[in-house]
Amino acid sequence: MNNRSPASAPSPSLKTASDPFMAAARRAVLEGATEPPFSSPLNQEGRAGLYSCAGCGAPLYKSSAKFPTSCGWPGFTQGTEGAIATRADHSHNMTRTEIHCARCGGHLGHVFDDGPTAQEHPEGTTMRHCVNGLALDFTPSGA
């Protein structure tokens, strides 16, 4: 993870979209909203592929880093090299680490240190990236 400044703005289509799904994605990515737990179809996504930023299309997570969680949001052990930026989040009377797309600054979710170990997952890092499914676009391998 890194703390680089965003290099490009989120997609104009995300900023101006009016359909309900895109409006919810806009709130998650641009305004830092959290989607309801267990609401994302990406929780159950098990195909090989790549998860990209819904705001700018930057590749964020490989499917090999995804693991099942009980928290209600897609979980990953790590992002692709240089893709994830962090900052302290002191909201809701707690301190957490917020994660963002390093390219556009779009809000992804939070990272916690209760993820799988290397013995529990091939890419285990003990980190759990808890990501809003609305902040991600999934492209299956070979698509």
Given this structure, which CATH class describes domain 12-140? mainly beta
- Residue 53: CA count within 13 A, CB half-sphere: 30
Give φ, ψ of 20 to 5 degrees.
-55, -40
The residues that are catalytic are: 130
Reported as a single tens digit per residue, the pLDDT across 90-142 is 988 999 999 999 999 999 999 999 999 888 888 878 999 999 998 999 999 98
The answer to whether residue 5 scores a pLDDT higher than 50 is no
Work out the widest C-alpha separation in the chain, in whole angstroms: 45
81 near 58, Cβ under 8 Å? no
The answer to whether residue 11 scores a pLDDT higher than 70 is no
Domain ranges of the chain: 12-140
**Exposure letters 53-74 (e unless 16+ CB within 10 A, then b):** bbbbbbebbbbebbbebeebbb
What is the pTM assigned to this prediction?
A: 0.82
The answer to whether residue 1 scores a pLDDT higher than 60 is no
- With cut-offs at 50, 70 and 90, classify the pLDDT of residue 68: very high
Reported as a single tens digit per residue, the pLDDT across 23-54 is 677 777 777 778 899 999 999 999 999 999 99
Alpha carbons 136 and 16: distance in angstroms, whole number? 17
Residue 22, C-beta contacts closer than 8 angstroms, at least 6 positions apart: 13, 14
